Structure 1
Amino acid sequence: MFVAEVGEVDRFAGPAQLTSRAGLTPRHRESDLVVHRGRITKQGSTLVRWAAVEAAHGVPHTAGWLTSTRARVAERRGRNIATVAVARKLLTLVYYGLRDGHIRALAPAGGGVSRFGRDRTRGRATSGPRRPTARPPA
């Protein structure tokens, strides 16, 4: 769905432009010292916005940081605003997934190499154990 509706992801400078095209960014009107922030713009593709919000509703409770983000925002701002915030983050992940061919948020933490010198993604030994750098005395 996202691939068909978004098309070539290279035409966007970054994930912010993709979320803006989907209409998931908040309105921002500003004049000198007065700033008005409003609801989402709803400009752009209705299908991408709908699919992102539906995907945000379907995020499982075991999704880790997405679930904690939704709970944290829902506690402060409400359930619907939290769903739109998670949809915006999911659309950011879709951008990186289409651009790079994999999703970085799903990769193991720490760059894929454990402190014991084993590559976490492939399970084989690297060039050697990573040693902590010496800290200067305080």
Structure 2
Amino acid sequence: MRYHVLAADYDGTLAKDGHVETSTVDALRRLRDSGRKLLMVTGRRLEPILDLFPDVSLFDRIVAENGALLFDPTTGEETLLAEPPPPEFAAELQRRGVNRLETGRCIVATWQPFETISLEVIREFAIDLHIIFNKDAVMLLPRW
């Protein structure tokens, strides 16, 4: 059986502590040169990936933000795959003292102990987000 596409997670699969080894990049290059397609999947926002990994052009697509954003490294085109929360949502979290906050195109992330405040604001805004815990991170993600 011949596989035509490799989809690989960034953290813990391609990268260790945010860094991709040269041997991994070489293996990805060989795979791509064999005619196969490469997809990177990650829960991270797109900007940190672009900052950390200079070889994104090896990939045909990057699925970022836990599946909420599709990025084409060749053209730079971004496609939202979920509805982003309103800008007032992140502003309200900050107003309530959430001082560690990252916003992507669709996802909002904070860290413990801000999960309770996050849930309160989700309910008050009546938006369809759910909370996923990833170590100490509190990911506020769109429902699919």
TM-score (norm 1): 0.26
Report which of the two has the higher share of helix.
1
Q: Higher relative contact order by CA 8 Å / sep ≥ 6: 1 or 2?
A: 1
TM-score (norm 2): 0.25
Which of 1 and 2 has greater Rg? 1
Report which of the two has the higher share of strand.
2
